Amino acid sequence: MYTAKSALQSQVEDPEFFQRYHRIVREEALYAKPEELVAWYLTAGFVARNGNAGSRGKEGEGVVISVTKMTCTDRAKVLAVLEEFAPWVQAEEPGVLTYAIFTRPKAREEVMLLVRYEGTKALKGHSGAAEHVVVVYDLSLPRAGDVESDDADFGCLGRNLRSCRRAARRRCGGRCRIALWRRRR
């Protein structure tokens, strides 16, 4: 990640390391297909918690990085869901070191999400959070259509998430963490 276009340009023009590396790769035919350099721009979220971009993660675990590239039918809806979730991640999940949402002007239907965790425990905690389950579900709706089955368990604390999405059919009476989080939004 570069903080400025000039920083990227200085690396690309570096004859000692960058250009030499790419020359060797070409000469030895190390790539199956040509490398493509693509610029993504930070749209929302946070790159470093409290300015600490160099966190090494938990002792003995290292940092876990997740990169998700989405091709969207409605990028605005996907961005709205992720942009709303990012502040919650920053406030409630200290083990998530980076939650950065990127877009590209040349690819109007693409979104890239980069998440950096301090270790596997933070990854599992984030993935298992009821609020994360809602976001995954909300992101799946434009792609997969509405879910018709009330038997699908989406992790609503042992209850059906579909029930929480329709106030008239709530099994938990609106008391579960997902329903409460939705009300705060």
CA distance 8 to 22: 15
- With a cut of 50, say whether residue 163 has pLDDT above it: no
Q: How many CB atoms lie within 10 A of CB 27?
A: 8
pLDDT at 116: 93
**pLDDT tier for residue 176 given thresholds of 50, 70 and 90:** low
Lowest mean pLDDT among 20-29, 30-39, 51-60: 51-60
Give pLDDT tens digits for 138-149: 887 654 333 222
pLDDT for position 68: 92
Number of alpha carbons in the 13 Å side-chain half-sphere of residue 100: 19
Question: For the chain, which domains are there?
Answer: 1-37 (no CATH), 43-184 (3.30.70.100)
Backbone angles phi, psi at 164, to 5 degrees: -70, -20
pTM of the entire predicted model: 0.69
Q: For residue range 105-147, list pLDDT tens digits in order.
A: 999 999 999 999 998 899 999 999 989 988 988 887 654 333 2
Whether the per-residue pLDDT at 182 is higher than 70: the answer is: no
Q: In a 3-state reduction of DSSP, which class is residue 58?
A: strand
| Closest of 40, 42, 38 to residue 100, by C-alpha | 42
Indicate the pLDDT class of residue 55, thresholds 50, 70 and 90: low
Looking at per-residue pLDDT, the higher value among 96 and 165 belongs to 96
Tens digits of residue pLDDT in 58-95: 666 778 999 999 988 889 999 999 999 999 999 999 99
165 has pLDDT over 50:
no
From 83, 178, 94, 176, select the one nearest 137 (Cα to Cα): 178
Between residues 74 and 174, which one has the greater pLDDT?
74
